[in-house]
Amino acid sequence: MKLKLPLDIVLRRSGSFVWLGLAATLVCGLAGPGVTARADETCSSPYLARIEGQEEFVYVWTLGVEGLGDGSDKLVVVDVKPGSASYGKVLHSHSVGGRHEAHHGGFTDDRRQLWLSGLESSKIFIYDVHSEPARPRYVKTIENFEKTTGGAVGPHGVYALPGRVLVPCLSNAKDQSGRTALVEYSNEGDFIATHWLPTKAEPRGAAGAEFADGYGYDARVLPRKNALLTTSFTGWKNYTRDFGDLAKDAEAMKQFGGSMVLWNFHTRQPKKVFSVPGAPLEIRWAWGEKHNYAFTAAALTSKLWLCYEDEKGEWQAKEVAHIGDPKGGVLPVDISLSADDKTLFVDGFGDGKCRVFDVSNPHQPRQIFEKQIGKQLNMVSQSWDGKRLYFTSSLLAHWDKGGADNEQFVRAYGWDGKELQAKFELDFTALKLGRPHHMLFGSTKVGK
């Protein structure tokens, strides 16, 4: 059954956050593993209009490199449609002008727009990806983010909600530390609200206030449980600094997040703060109707964590697996959970390996495979059927490796349940495009 609901209209007419939960309950049924008519990335927002069938394009948000091509950050479109004459090739690119530390992006819920954020300049670039998906059209730039939001800076990415987007941030304008906020904008680009993360001094009613550091990174929603989860990283004055220099500064290295926050999604109020040392980064909620849990990886401790609802209905967080020896420089940075909740792919920036875990029992992950993808490795995007994975190389402009280890690529692999098999690769340095970071799927066929 296909259910069509004008979520943005419901939201605007009701003016109530409660309607978000109702709309989500209806929509999440469309996103479950049992629905075969629609596909997408497995980490997509449950509110997002779905691709029908297989992805045709991969949109790559790319950091500019001084002296390479035009030197600017850009949106690059790669053809991934099977049988296409240009399969595995670049179809289009558009430069935004200047270098802004291109990081993450996301679609509006109707998938008509793609919003791309700059961590250093706090600008957000908006593209129309509906009119001509193979050649996105630049629409406008949000240039007053800091002023409008009341001092939040470092927009990490964009997460689709009904009629609006959620923008988790990494820092603030006052002291450029990791103290930060969640920000909401309408799909039209109008500011709605800023929600500052809890701290020890201002816990905002959250339990576990002793762990509240106010830091932010990712934000993801499990609508049927009214649960919003956030993780934590570090502030502007750290992520814009050369990593080699940063690593020698003992005081600066203390300024990394060590918390996750569970929020009441309807009211945007923090409910509980968890101690999760070592900068927990990407959040991946399970998709199963009775799977009330999410994974994250702590980059600096190289550990996999589980946030879950226990038998008493209380939310907990615990370490469930070692990804590798942190002294060996694994630095897990991105994870991808399969749509059937059975397989987790974990990318290590430091060693360039993708490790695959069997997470059928989420409390006891078991590594089943690993493969060297490159000399450095960052993002992974997985197709809904679990058969295709795409990888990129760049972490941050000031943190990427140097010399021969500074590989900059998009690489595609097939997954047959046992191993990763190479399909194509693009050398972004040779193509003079820059440093590829975040990927999102595109198609000419999008559901309502």
| pLDDT bucket at 329, cuts 50 / 70 / 90 | confident
Give 46-76 pLDDT, tens digit per residue.
999 999 989 999 999 999 999 999 999 999 9
Which pLDDT belongs to residue 38? 63
Give 289-323 pLDDT, tens digit per residue.
999 999 999 999 999 999 999 999 999 999 999 99
Tell me what the pLDDT averaged over the chain comes to.
92
| 7-442: CATH class | mainly beta
Which pLDDT belongs to residue 436? 98
Domain boundaries of the chain, sorted by first residue: 7-442
Which pLDDT belongs to residue 358? 98
Which pLDDT belongs to residue 35? 39
Which pLDDT belongs to residue 1? 29
Residue 325 pLDDT exceeds 80: yes
| pLDDT bucket at 424, cuts 50 / 70 / 90 | very high
Which pLDDT belongs to residue 11? 39
| pLDDT bucket at 447, cuts 50 / 70 / 90 | confident
Which pLDDT belongs to residue 10? 36
Residue 30 pLDDT exceeds 50: no
Q: What is the 3-state secondary structure (H, E, C) of the chain?
A: CCCCCCHHHHHHHHCCCHHHHHHHHHHHHHHCCCCCCEECECCCCCCCCCEECCCCEEEEEEECCCCCCCCCCEEEEEECCCCCCCCCCEEEEEECCCCCCEEEEEECCCCCEEEEEECCCCCEEEEECCCCCCCCEEEEEECCHHHHHCCEEEECCCEEECCEEEEEEEEECCCCCCECEEEEEECCCCEEEEEECCECCCCCCCECHHHCECECCCEEEEHHHCEEEECCCECHHHHCCCHHHHHCCHHHHCCECCEEEEEECCCCEEEEEEECCCCEEEEEECCCCCCCEEEEEECCCCEEEEEEECCCCCEEEEEEEECCCHHHCCCEEEEEECCCCCEEEEEECCCCEEEEEECCCCCCCEEEEEEECCCCCCCEEEECCCCEEEEECCCCCCCCCCHHHCCCEEEEEEECCCCEEEEEEEECCCCCCCEEEEEEEECCCECC
Give 97-111 pLDDT, tens digit per residue.
999 999 999 999 999
Which pLDDT belongs to residue 5? 35
Residue 39 pLDDT exceeds 80: no
